[in-house]
Amino acid sequence: MAALSPLSVVLLVAVAVGLAAAILAWRERPEPGATWLAVLLAGQVWWATFLVFELEATTLPAKALWYDVQWVGVVVIPVGWLFFALAYTGYDRYVTPFSVAMVSVVPAATVAVAAAGDPGNLLAADRVVRETAVGTFLKVVPGPLYYIIAGYTYLLGAVGSVPLIQLIRDDARPFRGQSAALLVGTAAPWAGSVAYLSGAIPVPGLDPTPLVFGVSGVAYLLALSRFRLLTLAPAPRRRARQLVFEQLHDPVFVVGTEGLLVDLNESAAETFGVDRRAAIGEPASAVVPKYDAVRELDDGGEDKPRAIRVVGRDGQRPYEATIRDVVDDHDRTTARVITYHDVGAYLGQQQRLNVLNRVFRHDVRTETNLILGYLEQLRSDPTDERALSVISESAERMLDLSERTRTAGELFDPTDESEWTPLPTVVNEAVAEARADDPDARTEVGDVPTVPVRGVLVVVLENLCSNALQHNDADAPWMRVDAAVSDGWVEITVADDGPGIDPAEYDVLDRGTETPLRHGSGIGLWIVKWGVDHLGGRISFDERDPAGTLVTVAVPLDRTAVRAEDEGAEASEPPADGPSAAGGSVSRRAPPDAGR
């Protein structure tokens, strides 16, 4: 048996190294790019293996046969490289069956021509055997298809190298090492191929490309082991950053230097009702809420957020807008990121803590001291009916306060976020609760449209109806509830004939904060306001003539249901009479001309 030529031994070493790297890559599936890296390495192994067969063959037909077989590996390598680079760097959305099929058209045609015996000499215009000092080679005069597939191979290689070159300047050292090793692994065969096509190789018929696969194999093995090529790939990081942008709770807009909208996240589209596909490329002033006011923040060179009020799908809410520049490596501004922080929830929480602090510090303490004082009086005179009555009334007030406090917590129960209830059901439940507390009261319910509303509205109406009757000193208190729908909003009015509401109560609600000297007398109206704020609505208080109060609550409807009820209806902003701390609006208006 004849000994292998030195070149065949070198090629077999390259085969062994490449096969080891291919096995390592295959074992890392389904890590990003693992399969395609294994395909690339398999192509190199195929090419080098059958080149050994060609070198060891002694006749022209035999060498020509093994030369044609090598084309399978030749065309697989650039395809594997392209899709490995895309998957590995996080551009896997381009790695689809369709894109793979389209990229593989030219390689598949090349293999088909080789398998058919190269009719028309498309791949090789002439083939001859040349004896050289280092062995016997098949010298091939390239045909037209040869140059086409060579150019196509370089094109795929260049495209696949672009995302990897970007990683060389990455802040993460492992990614820089990985990309450098990969580029060395692919640049070595390229250099050999270019040298062969340019005639720089002095040995006729010697294509050094497969010989340097050993260099590629070592580079890939180094990337797989030393730099954890597939176990520490940049693809998840890029996808994670995109996910963070999309799932960020705050609405975010990206505006280019020319004032055109470049991107926006899902929260921005949902919060402000923006069609993402239609919005991209539009002037920012037509899409970004209060863009002119926010832009003044950037033009003024300020480094603090700007407080604005914006109308979104959940009504008018307060936001803090911040703007940050996106700069390139040359410190040039390429875009601006505008972020809207919904501060309504924070302000509302702070508000609730202040009110509950007052309730427990002042109201509960007052009632407790009253009970303790009259208990002492009972010890001295157990038959004192007035003391028993005062203690009983005080205990009932504390129980009522406790129940209202519990109700306030239910307003923000996350499990109730998606609950929609027909408005007549909500109104009837609230009125029934009020009737149960005061059976002698005269209660009326006017026309109530059948539209869906949030379940939280039940709590709001229960407190309004309860306040209308409990704080009415008439023998038979009167109350009436009406509702109407207009432009995607529902307005519910609760009218009574009681003594009215102390102006100090309005002032506290309008300011949104309490102080030791200026505070409300209870928690009922605060619960109403918190509920309306939670629904993104507004509330107003009118004095009735000759006596009583008319409370109007306006909240947005489920727009889908409204369209079903009223074709073509579009939600619009209700008139905001005054700002409140947590997002809704509270106002006190002049008395109406006539009362019921």
CATH topology of domain 413-589: Heat Shock Protein 90 (3.30.565)
The CA distance from 167 to 159, in Å, is: 14
pLDDT > 70? residue 561: no
pLDDT in tens, 257-284: 888 898 898 888 888 888 888 888 889 8
Q: Do domains 6-238 and 248-342 have the same CATH topology?
A: no
pLDDT, averaged across the chain: 76
Q: What residue ranges do the domains of the chain occupy? A: 6-238, 248-342, 413-589
Q: Find the mean pLDDT for residues 412-439.
A: 76
Structure tokens belonging to residue 69: 């077989």
Contacts of 223 (CB under 8 A, 6+ apart): 177, 178, 181, 182, 185, 229
What's the pLDDT at 356?
Answer: 67
**DSSP codes joined into one string, 236-269:** HHHHHHHHHHHH-SS-EEEEETTSBEEEE-HHHH
Bridge partners (DSSP) of residue 324 are: 337
pLDDT > 80? residue 229: no
Does an H or E element contain 68, and which? helix 60-69
Strands 252-256 and 333-342, by their bridges, are antiparallel
The CA distance from 315 to 584, in Å, is: 8
Q: Find the mean pLDDT for residues 5-33.
A: 84
Most confident segment among 221-225, 350-354, 504-508: 221-225
The CA distance from 581 to 510, in Å, is: 8
- List the CATH code of the domain at 6-238: 1.20.1070.10
Length of the chain: 596
Most confident segment among 53-67, 230-244, 376-390: 53-67
What's the pLDDT at 43?
Answer: 92
Q: Find the mean pLDDT for residues 189-209.
A: 70
Q: Find the mean pLDDT for residues 431-439.
A: 84
- Comparison of pLDDT for 335 and 305, the residue scoring more: 335
From the list 229, 241, 231, the residue with the least C-alpha distance to 85 is: 229
Which parts of 302-366 are beta strand (E)? 306-312, 315-327, 333-342
Torsion of Cα atoms, 539 then 543 then 548 then 552, to 10°: -20
* Burial group, residue 520, by CB count within 10 angstroms (0-12, 13-18, 19+): buried
pLDDT > 50? residue 228: yes
Q: Find the mean pLDDT for residues 414-441.
A: 78
Contacts of 533 (CB under 8 A, 6+ apart): 344, 348, 580, 582, 583, 584
CA-atom Rg of the chain in angstroms: 39
Most confident segment among 74-83, 292-301, 373-382, 469-478: 74-83
Question: For domain 248-342, which CATH number applies: 3.30.450.20, 3.40.640.10, 2.60.40.10, 3.30.1490.190?
Answer: 3.30.450.20
From residue 283, how far is each of 258, 292, 361 by CA, in Å? 9, 12, 53
pLDDT in tens, 137-164: 788 888 999 899 989 988 998 898 888 7
Most confident segment among 223-227, 313-317, 327-331, 592-596: 327-331
Contacts of 427 (CB under 8 A, 6+ apart): 445, 448, 461, 481, 483, 492
